[in-house]
Amino acid sequence: MKKKFSVAAVLLAVTMALSGCSDSILESKGESGTESKENIWTAADTDIVAFPTADGLTEEQKNYYNISFEEFYKEYAFICANAGLNDTKDDASAQLYRQSVIDMLANEKIILKKAEELGLDQLSADEMKKVEEEYQKNLDSWYNTFSAQAQNELGIKDSSTTSDSSGSLSDDDKAKIKEKAKELFNNYIENFGLTEEIFLVWAKNTFIEEKVMEYTYKDIKVTDAEVDKYINDLIAEAEKTYKEDVSKYEKNTQYGTVWIPEGSRNVKHVFIGISTIDAAEISAARTESGADQEEVDKLRDEKLAEIKEKAEAAYKKATAETDDKEKNFDAVLKEYSHDYNSSLTDQAITVIKGTKSLTDTLYDAIFGLEKPGDISELIATDLGYYFFYYKEDAKITDEDITVQKKNVYDGMLKERQNKAADDALTEWQDAVKYEYDYEKLNFKKPEEEDTSSE
């Protein structure tokens, strides 16, 4: 079976955050072997659970590519425990982790061998410095996970009332806590037959693997002409789609980044809503078979009456005479609007000319405004009251197109780079043809990939 491994998978073991210091569901048997407390494993540490099957490999190459159960289990146990996983034979998540880990290890063997062939396995002093800095950063993060337990075991008290107590500790106490946390961390990873040094090996291997994958797409390029064609084709497609079906145009989020129909508007709104329960009641009554719409209108008016005073107060403030209408509207929006979002306060909503996504009442209110800076009347709906501020006509600027060209360039380049890396990796994997001992790895053999249509 052809296997495709994600390069990102090799980062899994070194980026998995520790979830705590409780007893692991897995435990080491030391020199005699490794097993889980539930005794679901049948393999001995020296058993080979992944091996190459390609013709023409030398014994030396076969030995290199072989993966023992111990190699697999140490990383699996560490990852599994920190994911809080229930390690049972039939647990789907556990089986997925087992497959991910053995795939990762096989992938690592293949890429590191290719690094040796390409002369990319030796790191310069500057590269090694980067690896060590990242390694130490990760270690410090892991130590920090055990800081609370270390402080508790040392009996060090602090006077802080905030969640960050480190500011109230002396430098000497901080040093003691860090040293104790380091000890606790090392005791913890010892359960999996690991030491701190292996984390440096993982970090170094990851760096080398990234170098190799970058090598596979070093000559990949995207031309300005290709980007221009993509943008022009997208504009033409957007115009055509809009003429044929406005709703279909609006569903494609790419269209609005390069072309907007003439007459569209950027608006802001204030919404004073009735309760969600009342809104649901009105909606249910409105859509009930044979509903008396006049009675539903009365129900709506009763609910709107409860918020009318607030809505009128907001509207009065928004329409007050001021030197800066938009700034004043934004202040009202922030104070009153039920759907206020601090990150979107200064951003208007683009309403497409001819849109079908609004009720006729709201659409007419927006496009009934004569000029930018105008504010609509207070509009009653089944959800509450709305009123709108006409900010400007919606247009695509040269700056917008420049931004989209950059996005298209980046996207096309990344897609081609990923394909080049995947193709290279697939070729290298085919030259090894890994097979797994699924029984000893405790996960089901995946179904053969159907490539007949490729």
| Domain contains 179 | yes
pLDDT number for residue 390: 97
Residues 62 and 146 in one domain: yes
pLDDT in tens, 273-282: 999 999 999 9
Amino acid at 243: K
Residues 65 and 11 in one domain: yes
Task: Please give the residue range of the domain that contains residue 198.
Answer: 7-219+415-441
**Best-predicted range by mean pLDDT (11-15, 77-81, 409-413):** 409-413
Taking alpha carbons only, the member of 207, 178, 168 closest to residue 14 is 207
| Domain contains 57 | yes
Range with the lowest mean pLDDT among 32-36, 86-90, 167-171, 409-413? 32-36
pLDDT number for residue 18: 33
pLDDT at 19 over 50: no
Number of domains in the chain: 2
Kindly report the average pLDDT of the chain as a whole number.
87
What is the average per-residue pLDDT within 119-133?
Answer: 96
Residues 371 and 305 in one domain: yes
Residues 209 and 279 in one domain: no
Q: Between these two residues, 363 and 452, which has the higher pLDDT value?
A: 363
Q: Between these two residues, 289 and 19, which has the higher pLDDT value?
A: 289
pLDDT at 36 over 60: no
Residue 41 confidence class, pLDDT cut points 50, 70, 90: confident
Amino acid at 319: T
pLDDT number for residue 31: 40
Residues 386 and 426 in one domain: no
pLDDT at 450 over 70: no
What is the average per-residue pLDDT within 383-394?
Answer: 96
pLDDT at 9 over 90: no
Interatomic CA distance for residues 431 and 428, integer angstroms: 5
pLDDT at 451 over 60: no
| Domain contains 450 | no
pLDDT number for residue 355: 95
pLDDT in tens, 398-442: 999 999 999 999 999 999 999 999 999 999 999 999 999 999 998
For residue 436, what is the DSSP state? E
Residues 296 and 359 in one domain: yes
Residue 34 confidence class, pLDDT cut points 50, 70, 90: very low
Interatomic CA distance for residues 373 and 396, integer angstroms: 20
Amino acid at 24: S
pLDDT at 38 over 90: no
% residues pLDDT > 90 (the chain): 75
Residue 359 confidence class, pLDDT cut points 50, 70, 90: very high
DSSP H helical ranges for 263-338? 276-287, 293-305, 308-318, 325-336
Which helix (H) or strand (E) segment holds residue 51: the answer is strand 48-52
For residue 114, what is the DSSP state? H
Residues 39 and 85 in one domain: yes
Residues 425 and 357 in one domain: no
Residues 50 and 172 in one domain: yes
pLDDT at 293 over 50: yes
First and final C-alpha spacing in the chain: 15
Task: Count how many Cα atoms sit within 13 Å of the Cα of residue 421 in the half-sphere of its side chain.
Answer: 21
- Neighbour-count burial of 268, counting CB atoms closer than 10 A to its CB (0-12 exposed, 13-18 middle, 19+ buried): buried
CA 234, 237, 242, 245 torsion-angle sign: negative
pLDDT at 93 over 90: no
Residues 300 and 180 in one domain: no
pLDDT number for residue 304: 97
% residues pLDDT > 70 (the chain): 86
pLDDT at 208 over 90: yes
pLDDT number for residue 444: 87
Residues 337 and 432 in one domain: no
How much is the pTM?
0.75
pLDDT at 24 over 50: no
pLDDT at 84 over 50: yes
pLDDT at 142 over 50: yes
What is the average per-residue pLDDT within 27-32?
Answer: 40
Q: What is the CATH number of the domain that holds 341?
A: 3.10.50.40
| Domain contains 242 | no
Residues in the chain: 454
Largest separation between any pair of C-alpha atoms in the chain: 87
| Domain contains 39 | yes
Residues 282 and 424 in one domain: no
pLDDT at 16 over 70: no
Q: Between these two residues, 168 and 148, which has the higher pLDDT value?
A: 148
Interatomic CA distance for residues 42 and 441, integer angstroms: 9
Interatomic CA distance for residues 14 and 425, integer angstroms: 21
| Domain contains 272 | yes
| Domain contains 86 | yes
What is the average per-residue pLDDT within 345-369?
Answer: 92
Beta-strand (E) ranges in 230-274? 265-273
Residue 28 confidence class, pLDDT cut points 50, 70, 90: very low
Interatomic CA distance for residues 165 and 323, integer angstroms: 48
